Amino acid sequence: MIEKTLSDTDTKMQKAVDALARELAAIRTGRATPALVEHIRADYHGVPTPVNQIASISVPEAKMILIQPWDRSSIRSIEKAILTSDLGLNPTSDSNVIRIVIPPLTEERRKELIRVVHKRLEEAKITLRNLRREGIEKLRQTEKNREISQDQNTRASEQLQRLTDNFVERVNHIGQDKETEIMEV
């Protein structure tokens, strides 16, 4: 029972850290990356659809994203979706592809992005602490049901705390890497 609780909590924490990494990948830095635009939803025949499902996204240069829709009629809706997103990007298109040149970040915008990163990191840490709390509650319940002893509960709770500390450390490391990436000029 203890192993199952620890394993379940570990899996959930890993998913939370993976979700954080995906969220942070979508935060703009000075470099072009498909993750910036792939989850923007464009109107495709009346249905909001992620751009990566209606077009191929590539990075031909360090400062440019190239979007090639499979259906040319969707070019205008993809452009509009990118313009209305909070990324501050300005797409240009010909009849076949959309090009997005990534402008250099201003110092003010960098600081704003770092605040966003810190907010996401704190949300991830809160999620990890909530998962730890759920695990401890399961352990307490199993002790209350006399399936495990008090000593086993204490040891398992300590293991859960070490697990949580490891994941918080990973979150901090991911955050530091993203902050360094944002501050690169």
Quick check: 6 and 156 in contact, CB under 8 A?
yes
Full set of structural domains in the chain with CATH: 2-25+106-183 (1.10.132.20), 34-101 (3.30.1360.40)
Q: 14: which residues sit within 8 A by CB, 6+ positions away?
A: 167
70, 85, 73: which is closest to 46 by C-alpha?
73
pLDDT tens per residue, range 160-183: 999 999 999 999 999 999 898 888
The residue among 32 and 28 whose pLDDT is bigger is 32
Q: Which of the four pLDDT bands, split at 50, 70 and 90, describes residue 2?
A: confident
Element (H or E) spanning 64, and its range?
A: strand 64-69
CA dihedral (140, 141, 145, 148) positive or negative: negative
Single pTM value for the model: 0.72
The CA distances from residue 72 to 21, 25, 36, 83, 183, in Å, are 32, 28, 21, 18, 37
Structure tokens of 28? Answer: 């703009």
pLDDT of residue 174: 93
Neighbours of 91 (CB within 10 A): 18
pLDDT tens per residue, range 93-119: 888 899 998 888 788 888 888 888 999
pLDDT tens per residue, range 84-100: 887 778 889 888 899 99
How many Å apart are CA 147 and CA 153, to the nearest integer?
10
Quick check: 115 and 79 in contact, CB under 8 A?
no
Q: 46: which residues sit within 8 A by CB, 6+ positions away?
A: none
The CA distances from residue 156 to 126, 138, 141, 148, 162, in Å, are 21, 11, 13, 10, 10
